[in-house]
Amino acid sequence: MYKILKAEKLNEIVYLMEVEAPMVAKHCEPGQFIIVKLDDAGERIPLTICDYDREAGTVTIVFQPIGASTEKFAKLQAKDAFEDFVGPLGCPSEFVHEDLEELKKEKILFVAGGVGTAPVYPQVKWLHEHGIDADVIVGAKTKDLIILEKEMEAVAGNLYITTDDGSYGRSGMVTKVIDDLVAEGKKYTRCVAIGPMIMMKFCCLTTKKYEIPTIVSMNPIMVDGTGMCGACRVIVGGEVKFACVDGPEFDGHLIDWDLAMKRQQMYKTEEGRALLKERE
């Protein structure tokens, strides 16, 4: 069993948990994810890793309840436990294994949308710990939906907050901030965008205009998390890839967004869920 050491509500819809999982904490890297199961009858839910402490043996997850299982997760308290906490799964972010000296010459921009701020945080933190301060745009619908602001501020080079309704920070979509920063003369060599699929799609259209290579983290429905079931299939550069083993990060300029969004819609229906159950 994997004990929950801390359970916190970050806002009306987003929850944070610190879980005792020493083996995952020891081996995980930014960009990876875990699959969590509450009990025998529970669904397997993929969640990105928001933070980890190798010495304390803990992993921090952040989630937004969107179905029966995550609704149950939201009710858990410290001292409750998950039956399964499998990981780390997927590939680490590409920069983790790149030449640090080359990386230091780059100017990296992260774009985080809503709960997507959680998987962006460990990446920006990792870079900061390796002497690279990246710029970060965090966007949300309203002020109340901004999460991890203080944590991000501590590790980002410059932090730009924007809200759709203008209730906090700049006003407007994250893509507008990208446009503004480029217009101000910022020259980014790569961008990492993580958030709702529609946000990542439009970030990619924007960065393509400026020829900024862009990585996105795909979060399609997953079943086994081992590349066997095909549920997390995405088309990247005309090739079939599985987000759980080939990703979750891919070149955003090569993703077939229309297909990815169609598949996401399909699995939101009850039929889609039933289909996945049959495959389990």
Residue 221 Cβ, how far from ligand FES at the closest point, in Å? 8
Of 7 and 232, which CB lies nearer to ligand FES in the complex structure? 232
Residue 244 Cβ, how far from ligand FES at the closest point, in Å? 3
Residue 88 contacts ligand FES per CB under 6 A: no
Residue 67 contacts ligand FES per CB under 6 A: no
Look-up: residue for tokens 């009858």? Answer: 41
Q: And the tokens for 169?
A: 């920070």
Of 78 and 228, which CB lies nearer to ligand FES in the complex structure? 228
Residues 196-255 that bind ligand FES (CB under 6 A): 222-225, 227-232, 242, 244
Of 228 and 261, which CB lies nearer to ligand FES in the complex structure? 228
Of 45 and 136, which CB lies nearer to ligand FES in the complex structure? 45
Q: How far apart are CA 5 and CA 46, in angstroms?
A: 20
Q: How do the residues of the chain divide into helix, strand and coil, expressed in percent and rounded to 5?
A: 35, 30, 35
Residue 91 Cβ, how far from ligand FES at the closest point, in Å? 13
Q: How far apart are CA 111 and CA 92, in angstroms?
A: 18
Three-class DSSP labels, 79-109: CCEECEEEEEECCCCHHHHCCHHHHHCCCEE
Burial 243-252 (b: 16+ CB within 10 A, else e): bbbbbbbbeb
Residue 127 Cβ, how far from ligand FES at the closest point, in Å? 27
Q: Which residues contact 220 (CB under 8 A, 6 or more apart)?
A: 231, 232, 233, 234, 243, 260, 263, 264, 267
Per DSSP bridges, beta strands 135-140 and 159-163 are parallel
Of 224 and 251, which CB lies nearer to ligand FES in the complex structure? 224
Residue 33 contacts ligand FES per CB under 6 A: no
Of 57 and 92, which CB lies nearer to ligand FES in the complex structure? 92
Residue 275 contacts ligand FES per CB under 6 A: no
Residue 255 Cβ, how far from ligand FES at the closest point, in Å? 16
Q: And the tokens for 141?
A: 């619908």
Site string for ligand FES, 163-202 (x = CB under 6 A): ----------------------------------------
Q: How far apart are CA 193 and CA 139, in angstroms?
A: 11
Question: Which residues make up the interface to ligand FES (CB under 6 A)?
Answer: 222-225, 227-232, 242, 244
